[in-house]
């Protein structure tokens, strides 16, 4: 089971001991998309969704989710986040969410960025589901990470 750091020699799940790792600046960027009918996208863009400002609420939800990642993902370390940014690209057929998480620590922030993007997308769905119950959430993925022993990585 080489390369699977969350498994011990017997294959049991474990939290990785990061105490010997150097503290470094770390950043991760994740994104995802929610596709919807044009009327729903237009209502979001024009601020006409009855529940309120969809993107403002989704931004706060994504930030809050990043801060709670260790509570949601069993083997994640609780980390002190330096920053979480949620950006939206709204077009006529949906919303692309990009989440950036930063810390100075002993472990990366990939899971925090992925969680932030996922929860922001789920919040867009919740806020706009009265307009389109058939929205599709997808393509949630890590775009880039920097810092730490493994260094920088960027999706192809």
Residues known to be catalytic: 126
Query: Using an 8 Å Cβ cutoff, are 122 and 137 in contact?
Result: yes
d(CA 60, CA 84): 10
Query: Using an 8 Å Cβ cutoff, are 31 and 110 in contact?
Result: no
d(CA 134, CA 25): 40
Distance of CA 9 to CAs 1, 16, 101, 110, Å? 8, 12, 32, 25
Please, what is the Cα angle at 68 between 78 and 41, to 5 degrees?
140
Distance of CA 123 to CAs 17, 61, 63, 77, 116, Å? 34, 7, 12, 24, 11
């Amino acid at each position: 089971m080489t390369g699977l750091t969350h498994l011990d020699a017997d294959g049991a799940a474990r939290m990785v001991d990061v105490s010997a790792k150097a503290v470094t600046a770390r950043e991760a960027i994740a994104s995802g998309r929610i596709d919807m009918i044009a009327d729903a996208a237009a209502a979001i863009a024009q601020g006409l969704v009855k529940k309120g400002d969809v993107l403002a609420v989704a931004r706060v939800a994504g930030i809050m989710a990043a801060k709670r990642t260790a509570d949601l993902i069993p083997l994640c370390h609780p980390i002190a986040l330096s920053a979480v940014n949620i950006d939206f690209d709204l077009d006529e057929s949906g919303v692309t969410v990009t989440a950036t998480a930063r810390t100075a620590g002993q472990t990366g922030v990939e899971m925090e960025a992925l969680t932030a993007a996922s929860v922001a997308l789920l919040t867009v769905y919740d806020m706009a589901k009265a307009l389109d119950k058939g929205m599709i959430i997808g393509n949630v993925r890590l775009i880039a990470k920097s810092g730490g022993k493994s260094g920088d990585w960027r999706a192809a």
